[in-house]
């Protein structure tokens, strides 16, 4: 009996081909992400040529006006470029190692079925961490991609594929996540770009009017002057609304994500849970030293992993006054680890009138660790 020979199946593609295609796709995506940045950069380069060369050097006839405009323009230009550069190339900060699950905790989490048993593992892992916020169901906020317990105000960025501390949003115009490490730079970028556009529009206005009244010589400069005013006016309108919105966010100590989804604390949801008042909210972003406020250097308070909140001492499971804390300290309430809030942030809580009324000198020496906002209930 003759057996028919079966056709052999086609050979499988090489194992590395799929990985190579994925790698090529990621590289192409990274290049595409730079398109908005290149667009802004090209507009900036053209505006420099149009303003400095065509308007100031070739069109302006008054020497004094020319010098003043060139000096002021280069100041705004330098601050704009500096803050934009810092916003783009400042790496977003990620949660510290203490928020990452240990190897044993990861194994326990994988073994346990979803539900209360997994939450028990996460509660054990997070019992000594300065975490106040929860999910909508009251569970510990956990990132299954980064394998870490999320600090307060931390979110996972799908573009960066990382958890970003105090994430505000992923901005395509800077090809970067705007978060704790560069939020001040982003605000300064908006402020200086707005001032840059307003300055150009204001100084170009009289020559823009001359263009329509045939008061300019018939050269290519007249077209640069016209488009320069249109571009500056258009960007001024959009930037003013965006800058005003982020100024409101700073005054309320909110992020863009927290506007759309209010943070959920252990006791209740509160959209203003992190707000400490206008002055303290401003200092959290810009720092205590006013000489650094307008300069694109990092001066924000804290470490990005924990934040003061006005609501923690209202938690029924926590002490409500410093005196009550001392009386309940025997109940083995967990204190934050050694670095929950940097000293530069802790004083935002301790200098309020309601928390400065201590009964003894020993209380004053314990500022920060004896504050009810720095305690965490025993979740074990």
CB 375 within 8 A of CB 324: no
Catalytic residue among 56, 69, 171, 310: 171
Instruction: Please state whether 302 falls in left (phi above 0), alpha (psi between -120 and 50) or beta.
Output: left
- Is-catalytic flag, 3? no
Strands (E), 60-147: 133-134, 142-143
Q: Taken in order 43, 45, 50, 52, is the CA torsion positive or negative?
A: positive
Q: Taken in order 312, 165, 259, 187, is the CA torsion positive or negative?
A: positive
- In Å, how far are 90, 113, 180, 288, 375 from 185, measured between CA atoms? 9, 44, 10, 16, 32
CB 257 within 8 A of CB 90: no
User: Strand pairing partners for 169?
Assistant: 178
Helix, strand, or coil here: 295?
Answer: coil
Active site (catalytic) residues: 171
């Amino acid at each position: 009996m003759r057996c028919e020979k079966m056709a052999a199946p086609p050979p499988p593609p090489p194992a590395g081909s799929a990985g190579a295609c994925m790698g090529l796709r990621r590289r192409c995506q990274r290049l595409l992400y730079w398109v908005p940045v290149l667009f802004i950069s090209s507009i900036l380069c053209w505006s420099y040529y149009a303003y400095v060369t065509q308007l100031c050097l070739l069109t302006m006839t008054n020497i004094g006006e020319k010098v003043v405009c060139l000096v002021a323009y280069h100041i705004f230009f330098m601050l704009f470029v500096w803050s934009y550069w810092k916003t783009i190339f400042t790496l977003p900060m990620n949660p510290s190692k203490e928020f990452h699950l240990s190897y044993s905790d990861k194994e326990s989490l994988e073994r346990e079925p979803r539900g209360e048993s997994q939450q028990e593992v996460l509660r054990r892992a997070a019992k000594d961490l300065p975490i106040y916020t929860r999910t909508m169901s009251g569970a510990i906020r956990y990132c299954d991609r980064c394998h870490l317990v999320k600090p307060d105000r931390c979110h996972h960025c799908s573009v960066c594929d990382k958890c970003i501390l105090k994430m505000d949003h992923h901005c395509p115009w800077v090809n970067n996540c705007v978060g704790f490490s560069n939020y001040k730079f982003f605000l300064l970028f908006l402020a200086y770009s707005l001032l840059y556009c307003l300055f150009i529009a204001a100084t170009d206005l009289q020559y823009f009017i001359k263009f329509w009244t045939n008061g300019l010589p018939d050269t290519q400069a007249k077209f640069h002057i016209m488009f320069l005013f249109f571009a500056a006016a258009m960007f001024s309108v959009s930037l003013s609304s965006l800058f005003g919105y982020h100024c409101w966010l700073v005054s309320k100590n909110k992020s863009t994500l927290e506007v759309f989804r209010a943070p959920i604390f252990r006791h209740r949801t509160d959209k203003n849970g992190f707000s400490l008042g206008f002055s303290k909210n401003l200092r959290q972003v810009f720092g205590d030293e006013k000489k650094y406020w307008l300069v694109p250097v990092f001066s924000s308070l804290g470490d990005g992993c924990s934040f003061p909140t006005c609501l923690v001492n209202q938690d029924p499971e926590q002490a409500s006054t410093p005196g009550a804390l001392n009386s309940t300290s025997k109940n083995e309430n967990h204190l934050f680890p050694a670095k929950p809030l940097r000293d530069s942030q802790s004083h935002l809580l301790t200098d309020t009138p309601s928390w400065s009324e201590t009964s003894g000198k020993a209380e004053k020496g314990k500022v920060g660790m004896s504050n009810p906002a720095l305690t965490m209930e025993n979740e074990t």
